[in-house]
Structures are given as C-alpha cells and as structure tokens.
Chains A and B, each alone.
Chain A
Amino acid sequence: MFFGYYPGCSLHSTAAEYDASTRALFEALNIPLKEIPDWNCCGATSGHSLNTYLCHSLSLRNMVLAEGVASHLVVPCAACYNALRSTQAFLKSGTKEAKKLQEDIKLSIGQEYKGMLEVHHLLEVLGTPDILSLIKEKQKVSLAGLKPAAYYGCLLTRPPKVVNFEADAEQPQLMDRLLKALGAEPVSWSHKTECCGASLSIPAPEIVEELVKKIVQAAVRAGANLLVTACPLCQTNLDSRQPEDYKLPVLYISEILALALGISAPWLNKHLIDPSPVLKSCNF
C-alpha cells in the first residue's frame, strides 16, 4: 500500500511542522508517501474569488500529475483538498465548461485526465479501519489526560456533497474518534465547524481575531486544554490570532498521533503558543 502525496504551499512554509509530522507518521506506519512531482498551488481562496476557471485548471494539472503517481492521493491541507474535490465535482457535472476545461488542460500540459484518481484528506486515510488499527498496534504512549477540542473548520466539511467528508457536516466525528481511540478525551463542543476567517487574516485581521476569539472561548468553556486542527490556515489563525490571556495550544492531528507513536517531535517548538506546559502536565 502506498499513497500519492500533495503537500501544498503552506506545508512547505508556515505549516512545515504539519508536513514533517505527517511524513514521520507515515514512515513509522511503513506506508510510503510519493510526493506529486512538480505540483503547483491550488489557487486557494484567491483563485476561485477572482477566476474560478483558473482555480479548476490549477487543480486539474495537479490531478493529472497525481494520477501518474498513485491511484489514491493524500492531501493534508483542507483548502487544497477542497479545491481538488470541487474540480472533480465540476468535471462530473459534464457541462460545456467542464469539457472545455478537459480540452484546455490537454493543450496546456499535453496530458489528459483519465478520471481514476481518488482524493482523500489525511484524516480520512488515518481513520480507515486498517490504518487506525495499525496506529493502535504501534502506539507507545497513551494520550490520557489530553482534552482536545477537535476543530474541523469549513473546507473539510463543506459543501457537504462536494467534499463528502462525513455524513453529518454539522457534527463531524472522525477526528474525535481517532483521538479517543488513542486514549485522549475529546470534548463535546459547539464550534467544531465554525469558520476561522481563513485568508482574511492578512487583509482584514480584525474579523479573524473576532472569529478566533469565539472559537477559543468555546473550546475553553467545554473544558479543552488543547485545540487540534487538520488545516494549515486554521492552525495559523488560531495560534497567532487568539486573545493573549488564553494561551490555548493548537496542534495538528499528525503531531498528536506522532506523540502517541513515540516519534521524537523537534517541530513542536515551531508553534507561537508553546504546547509544552500542557504536554508536560499530561506526562509527555
């Protein structure tokens, strides 16, 4: 078993710890990840905001390249995942524009999309019964004492028919199940799919601060000692824009799982809010 791997731009920069911990995790599980050669940016929010067709074209190039590597693709970034799934849905619609997109990409890159690629978010892969039991088998450290608030955000769960991430888009459970299986006690809380404001963080930080404040307050109110995310932009916004007095650490799901597997974690010092007091209090 192996997977194609599309890290996306953030994982090579502001979310380098997400990339490093994901790779370390798969290495420990003996599941090879093959990075798509010469992948490009998915266009993210700016792409579809100004030119939806451009956004689909950028994703389709990645899909053609990914198809040459593996039939199953793992994507850790929620925005990249959403972009790829949206393009798949657009192609499936079979409209005139969708056919033009296929033609255009063939002209631009000289290859055709065969339509065989399966796109999965990292969480979906980690939550499959086989891989989850493999993780449990290799677990060295219990996550007891950690009370994470699993934060899914927007792009993993919406639009429901496009991403098809979980049956109930308002109440996703996958990350909670993973954390619980390894001994943590995920809290039941209100803001797991509320928006963090995403890329408004640069041009309208006051909006993001307001949204992040509500999310962090809800997590603390529910008794969480940690936030867990599966999206680089959510992590950056929650880590950098929460009110100073909260100091609620924000870790990636891959970092938590790496801790459970006893993998040394040099990347933990990359966070603005130091997670070590909470981790030490739980004997990590």
Chain B
Amino acid sequence: MQENKVLPQPHLLSWVQETSGQPVSRCYQCYKCTGGCPVASFMDILPHQIVRCLHLGLEDELLKSKSIWLCASCHTCKARCPNGIDIASINDVLKAKVISRGLVPASSTIATFHREFLASVEKYGRAHELGLVMAYKWKTRDYWKDLSLGVKMFRKGKFRLWPDRIQNKEQLRSIFKRARGEA
C-alpha cells in the first residue's frame, strides 16, 4: 500500500493524455474496462487501476508493471468505456517510455518478441515468421516450449523458409530512422 504522502502528480497524467490522445482524466472508476478485459486475471495492476495510477502520478508502479505488456490490444476497454478511454493506447505509450528510458521491461519475453518482430520488419520490409520465432527462442533461451507444435506446423507447410523481401529498402530505412527521431 502507498502511504498517504502520495500526492497527485499532474505531469504524468498530462503527458499520457497528450501522447496517447486518451481523455484519462474523465475516468470515474466504473470498472467496466476490468470487467471486460480478457487478460485481467493475469495482470498485476488491473485496467481501471492503471488509469487510477495515472491520476495519482504513480509512474514507477506503472513502468514496472507486467500489465502494460500483457495487454493484448483487443480494445474491449475502449469499446465499453463510458468515457471513451482506450487503455490499450495508454499501455502503448507506457511501454514506449520503458524502452526509451532503457528500463527493464516487466515481461522480458513479450518485449523480446516485439523487438524481434520489428527487427525482422526492418531487415526485410515484411515479417518473416519462422526467422523471428527462431530469433525469439534464441534470445529467450526457450528452445523446447512449443517444439512439437512447431514441427507439426512445419510439416503442414505453414512456414516460409526464406524471408519475403521488399525492393525499396531505402524507403524503409528512412521510415525507421524518422520514427526513431534519428532524421
């Protein structure tokens, strides 16, 4: 529990509102988001609590939470929120903040998957499913989980062995550079 010396810190709230475009301060804690969230039972901070933490400026708690990574971006919260708040979009800007600050993501497996996915897109222009799964397994040293499923899918010809590449690599390089703020 937080001690009562916690005071609302408006800078986090206004930063999230601005970058995610979500009207976070409208929330009146009706819990509808948590009621409909398919992954709520796996979360450490529930969806309505994520919004409450923003109101209270509990930045560390949010950046260290697994919930922001577990969110499947299904947007059920957004569809049902009486105030139109999309918690998936809030979680996106919080994840980006974890990465940009160089903090350790609370779910290293999910963060590694996202990184490997984007590395594949940056390299080829298209995601190479087999390659990115192998890179993910290598990075997380998780070689055995899903091995038999992988073999079954391979036998069914589900995987493309070699990556599909786009022609115009220069355009892609420029897009990635600008999105990282390097250009």
State whether A107 touches B174 (Cβ < 8 A): yes
Q: Does A54 contact B (CB under 8 A)?
A: yes
**Are B175 and A203 neighbours in the complex by a CB distance under 8 Å?**
no
Quick check: A40 and B42 within 8 Å, CB to CB? no
Cβ contact within 8 Å between B175 and A57: yes
What is the interface size of chain A, counting residues whose CB is below 8 A from a CB of the partner? Answer: 58
Interface residues in A216-265 by Cβ distance below 8 A to B read 240
Ranked nearest first, the 3 interchain pairs of A and B with the lowest CB-CB distance are: A54-B179, A195-B74, A46-B117
Q: Is the CB of A203 within 8 A of B113?
A: yes
Instruction: Tell yes or no: B11 within 8 A of A by CB.
Output: no
Q: Tell me, yes or no, whether A14 is within 8 Å of chain B by CB.
A: yes
Give the docked Cα–Cα distance between A46 and B72 (Å).
Answer: 11
The verdict on A41 contacting chain B, using a C-beta distance below 8 Å, is: yes
Q: With A107-B174, A211-B38 in contact, is A203–B109 under 8 Å at CB?
A: yes
CA distance A45 to B88 in the complex (A): 11
With a CB–CB cut-off of 8 A, which chain B residues contact A170?
Answer: 79
Which interface residue of B92, B127, B133, B166 has the most chain A CB atoms within 10 A?
A: B127
- Answer yes or no: B2 CB below 8 A from chain A CBs: no
Chain A residues proximal to chain B, CB less than 8 Å: 9-10, 12-14, 16, 38-41, 43-54, 57-58, 61, 93, 95, 104-105, 107-109, 154-155, 157-160, 169-170, 193-195, 197-200, 202-205, 207, 211, 240, 269-272
Indicate whether B159 reaches chain A with its CB closer than 8 angstroms.
yes
Q: Kindly identify which residue among B38, B130, B156, B164 contacts A195, using a CB–CB cutoff of 8 Å.
A: B38
The residue of chain A having its C-beta at the shortest distance from the C-beta of B127 within the complex is: A9
When the two chains form the complex, which single residue of A47, A108, A271 contacts B178, counting CB atoms closer than 8 Å? A108
Most buried by B among A53, A159, A272: A159
Residues of A within 8 A of B117 (CB): 44, 46-47, 199
B79, A160: Cβ atoms closer than 8 Å: yes
